[in-house]
Each structure stands twice: as C-alpha cells, then as structure tokens.
Amino acid sequence: MIRQSLLGCLLGTAVGDSLGLPYEGLRSRRAARLFGPPDHHRFIFGRGMVSDDTEHACFVVRALIESRLDPIQFEQSLARSLKWWLASVPAGVGKATAQAILKIGLGFAPDKSGVFSAGNGPAMRSPLLGVVFAGHPERMKEFVKRSTRMTHSDPKAYWGALCAALAASISTGQKPITPQEFLSVVQESLKEEPAEEFIALLVGACQSAASSEPVSEFAKTIGCTKGISGYIFHTVPCVIQVWLRHQQDFAAGIQEMIAAGGDTDTTAAILGGIIGAGVGVEGIPAAWIQGIWEWPRSVKWMTHLAAALDQTIAGESVLVPGYCIPAIPIRNIIFLLIVLSHGLRRLLPPY
Ligand SMILES: [Mg+2]
C-alpha cells in the first residue's frame, strides 16, 4: 500500500503542477476566457511540463533514499539538491527559496540558511513526508521542520507545511476523514505552537468544506480576491478545503483548485500529492499522466524513484535512479522559452 501511495503522491504532484502551470497567476475569469476549463494539458501542444513543485518533491524523495531516512543526512542531501537545482537556472523559483539556496551556496548550514518568509515553498515538499511517516507523527514533524527551515524560517511556513503533510498521511490510510476530525488532528499536532491564527483559518476552511462551499467562495473570505496567493496561510487552508470535499476524486478536486486561480501550479501540486496518496495512480486520470512531456526526469523515472523509496523504507540499501544530468540545462532552456511564450500570449485578448 505504501508503494501505491508514494507513487500516487509523486505523480499526483506532477499532474497537478503540470495542469495548473498554464493558469498560474491568472484570475479565474481571465483564465477561463483564455484557456477554458483545466480538463487537459495546455502547456505546449496539448502536453504538460512540470515546475519547481514537482522538482522539489523529487529532491525530497532523493534525499530520503540517500539518507536512508536519517534526518541529518536527509537535510544535507536536500540542501545539496537545491544548490544544484538553482545552479541549473530553473524558470520558476520563489524569492525566499532563491535567497536561501544562495546562502546554502555561500556555506550556511541548512538549519541557518532559511529566510524569514511564509511563502508556500515548504508545503510543496511536505506531502511526500506525510506519506513516508504516516503513523509516526514525531518523525514527520522532524523531517518537515528540516525540509522547511532550510528555505523558510518563519514558523508559519512550518505550520502550513506540517498541515499538508498531515493531510497526506491521513490520505495514505485511505479512510475518508470529516472536516472536524481533521481539525482535531492538526490542533493536536500544533498544540505546543503559537499557531492560533493558522488554526482559526483552518477552522474556517473546515466549516466551509462541511457546508460544501466552493473553494473560490472560501478563498474570498480569507482575503484571496484575485485567486489563491502563494502565502502559505492562503495556500494551505484552500488546499485543505478542496481536499476535504474531494478525498476520493482526484479529477474533480484538481479542476476546482485550478479554476479558483492564483498560484495554481503549486495549489494543484500540493492537492494532487495529498489526494494522489489516497487514490494511487489508478485514481489519477491516465491521460493526465501520459500527457506529461518531461525529460530526462520523465514519468518513468519518477516511477522508478518512488519504487526506490519504497525499498528504502523496507530497509533495503538502494541507489537513486539515474538520469542524463547534462540534459537538464537543455530541458530548462526549452521550458523557459515555453514559459516566455505563455507570457507573451497573455498580453493578447481575450481579456
Ligand atoms: Mg511552480
């Protein structure tokens, strides 16, 4: 079951990320006019490519395999991956994440490199940690904390990232949970933290989900009038609101998430990771997986990566599956050109 959840989480992240990417930063009304509903890939010729959200999730898997689940080595491995990642000039990188990785490059230790920011970067790395450490809450907290603090030192970032991990861990158990039950889980996990503001937001998200309100309506009540922002106190409550209403329905959840606008690649990536952990690959529309056009970190490679993590969890010593590293800069240039073409397209009608 864990293998299915790992693969479902990783590919769910990739699918949400790649479907949401063309819609990133648009208001929902403009996105609907420009592209129509997010029911198939629209990044390039009906195919999708992934962004930082999926790349970071893959680095988390790599770090878990390399460290054999040792927290200190995990932190070092993840910091190393992020350093090389920034050196490969990725097209989309959050400001805080870029600053923190530069600090790592300058020699700061990963527990000192984070900048005081509450962006949603750490939440894109945490659903996988929720799957791996489902049933081990203290280990989960430790790994989420280490993954978070190397880029974001504001405790808000940790609370949001932990909440996403908790949702993924519950999803892994495949037993649907009520909004009230989930709220209790998060309250218990954060009881020693001064997280009242976050809990209040989550109370709102859970009440909204219980009353079957669309997430676009809930988002307005927390100040997201132009789509869901990349502030982790906006991103995570909205993701949770959708997840609680679509725990077994990947397609419906992802489409609603993207249609709400804003930071759509990241909101859909986090949600995809959480629902994917529960429904597995079988629950993700096959056309959405097959439509991902990625190389050298292809869907096949991600499948091998998830399998290697599964073996690591089982106590085996395995190597991280390899890929053609020199291909990464070429891939990134192609990706950047497509992103730029989307930017130009947005200057044109319909508005
Ligand atoms: Mg992204």
Select from 305, 332, 290 the least CA-distant residue to 15: 290
Got the DSSP string for 69-114? Answer: T-HHHHHHHHHHHHHHHHHT--S---HHHHHHHHHHHTT--TTT--
pLDDT at residue number 337: 96
pLDDT at residue number 91: 86
Distance CA 263, CA 51 (A): 12
DSSP 8-state symbol, 154: S
Got the DSSP string for 220-258? Answer: HHTT-BTBB-SBHHHHHHHHHHHHHH-TT-HHHHHHHHH
Q: How far is the CA of 114 from the centre of ligand 1 (A)?
A: 19
Q: How far is the CA of 265 from the centre of ligand 1 (A)?
A: 5
Q: How far is the CA of 20 from the centre of ligand 1 (A)?
A: 9
Confidence (pTM)? 0.98
Enter the tokens of residue 143. 């790994």
Q: How far is the CA of 54 from the centre of ligand 1 (A)?
A: 8
Q: How far is the CA of 197 from the centre of ligand 1 (A)?
A: 26
Residue entry with tokens 């209403």: 245
- Which CA distances in Å does 207 have to 62, 180, 232, 244? 37, 8, 19, 10
pLDDT at residue number 1: 63
Residue type at position 236: V
Residues paired with 119 in a beta bridge: 231
As a residue count, the chain comes to 351
Using 50 as the pLDDT threshold, list the residues of the chain that sit under it: none
Q: How far is the CA of 188 from the centre of ligand 1 (A)?
A: 31
Domains and CATH numbers, the chain: 2-345 (1.10.4080.10)
Q: How far is the CA of 235 from the centre of ligand 1 (A)?
A: 13
pLDDT at residue number 94: 85
Got the DSSP string for 19-75? Answer: HHGGGTT--HHHHHHHH--SSS--SBTTBB---HHHHHHHHHHHHHHHHTT-HHHHH
